[in-house]
Amino acid sequence: MKGKRHIYMDYHATTPLDERALEAMLPYLREKFGNAASQTHRFGWDALDAVEAARVQTARILGARPEEIVFTSGATESNNLAIKGVCEKHAAKGRHIITVATEHKAVLDCFAQMEKRDFETTILDVRPDGLLDIEELRAALRDDTILVSVMAANNEIGVLQPIEEIGARCKERGVLFHTDAAQAVGKVPFNVENAKADLVSISAHKVYGPKGIGALYVRGKHPRVSLDCQLHGGGHERGLRSGTLNVPAIVGMGKALEIAQAELEEESRRVLALREKLRQGLAARLDHITVHGDLQRRLPGNLNVGFAYVEGETLLMRLDDIAVSSGSACTSADPAPSHVLAALGVSVDLAQASIRFGLGRFTTEEEVDYAIEKTVRVVRMLREQSPHYDLARQGLLDDE
């Protein structure tokens, strides 16, 4: 490969906008610029028609009904609306809520806020493979539990939680079930009825759509879920989310989800093959490496690897032409080790020396080959400077 190149392998942080989604958006950034709430002229009618078409596209990939889709600014807002909305609406029934230690900060921080409002929270541990123990969830459910929130796919280690079993346990007890499915939808099959989910958060920029737009699925029957609005002023989105609708972004999300649904099977197969090529390529040439999280129940494009006896920040700096991360994009400025890896029991040193490779729609085999070569070269070079690595090779140290 000639010259300096930059390879993108951080698809869990965000995805590039698919050209087909951009093409769908352009008319609503130009000539069809109307406000969807303006229903006295053609400009507003065209905008509203586009929004409702995207609502259908969004509902279809979830197996939901269009009227159950509420447009938001992204999964973070959807999580806030779901968690705070349920707590405030159903506080008279109970004040106990449950989540998992490996959740996205958008969920964990919501739970922390609800604690300040006198709700009791239970944060369940996960097994070393990153999966929730269903029996621990069953034991944690109480008569005053009103909500369980468990993400469908983890943004750092790619683990797919047993959503259908979780939903079934919640349904048995009459507890509402919310899942942050931002990383799962469009990458693995997902259906709200199979999951028995009452609330589902998604975000367009995780599925090759624009940033700043997302949606919350709110179950309309069996049961009909009621929420307290978190953003007031105008009564948009059936009174659940006020604010002028971002028509171009909504159109882009609808198109991106339509594409993802049509191409999911083929794309997942291709990306999984690339992920396995990367994993096997690293494992064949480097010792003392650890893949974090279950390998079977996992997003096809996720590989989170710990490289023992390497200084993590230096490793990232040396991989300067490969866009990877050491954890969630939302916490990348935080020097503390990943809370997800800590929940798996990973040591601080190994957590800080762990890299999340995220492969996606535009990743090529050539890029994977380059990533293997560069990572192997950098890790070997850094280990030459590590006195602990020599001891480990002689069997005098365990992996960190």
| Out of 69-73, 76-80, 385-389, least confident range | 385-389
Q: What angle do CA 170, 228, 120 make, to 5 degrees?
A: 50
Q: Is the pLDDT of residue 390 over 80?
A: no
> What pTM did the predictor assign?
0.95
| Out of 208-217, 313-322, 383-392, least confident range | 383-392
Write down the residue that tokens 């942050």 correspond to.
180
Domains of the chain, by residue range, sit at 7-15+264-393, 19-259
Q: Is the pLDDT of residue 2 over 50?
A: no
Two structure tokens written together for 156:
């750092």
Query: Looking at this protein, which amino acid is placed at residue 391?
Result: L
CATH class of segment(s) 19-259: alpha beta
Query: Looking at this protein, which amino acid is placed at residue 14?
Result: T
Categorize the per-residue pLDDT at 3 as very low, low, confident or very high, splitting at 50, 70 and 90. Answer: low
Buried b (16+ CB within 10 A) or exposed e, 384-395: eeeebbeebeee
Mean pLDDT over residues 222-249, rounded?
A: 93
How far is it, in rounded angstroms, from Cα 139 to Cα 134? 9
Buried b (16+ CB within 10 A) or exposed e, 37-55: eeeeeeebebbbebbbbbb
Q: In which element (H, E) is residue 318 found?
A: helix 312-318
Two structure tokens written together for 292:
């974090």
pLDDT of residue 77: 98
Q: For residue range 151-169, list pLDDT tens digits in order.
A: 999 999 999 999 999 999 9
The CATH number that domain 7-15+264-393 falls under is 3.90.1150.10
Q: Is the pLDDT of residue 316 over 70?
A: yes
- Residue 211: strand, helix, or coil: coil
Q: For residue range 322-367, list pLDDT tens digits in order.
A: 999 986 555 455 667 899 999 999 999 999 999 999 999 999 999 9
> How much is the mean pLDDT over the chain?
94
Active site residue 330: yes
User: What residues form DSSP beta bridges with 8?
Assistant: 323
Categorize the per-residue pLDDT at 398 as very low, low, confident or very high, splitting at 50, 70 and 90. Answer: low
Tell me, yes or no, if the two domains 7-15+264-393 and 19-259 fold the same way: no
Q: In which element (H, E) is residue 304 found?
A: strand 302-307
Categorize the per-residue pLDDT at 173 as very low, low, confident or very high, splitting at 50, 70 and 90. Answer: very high
Q: For residue range 115-133, list pLDDT tens digits in order.
A: 999 999 999 999 999 999 9
How far is it, in rounded angstroms, from Cα 243 to Cα 105? 25
CB atoms within 10 A of CB 277: 16
Query: Looking at this protein, which amino acid is placed at residue 297?
Result: R
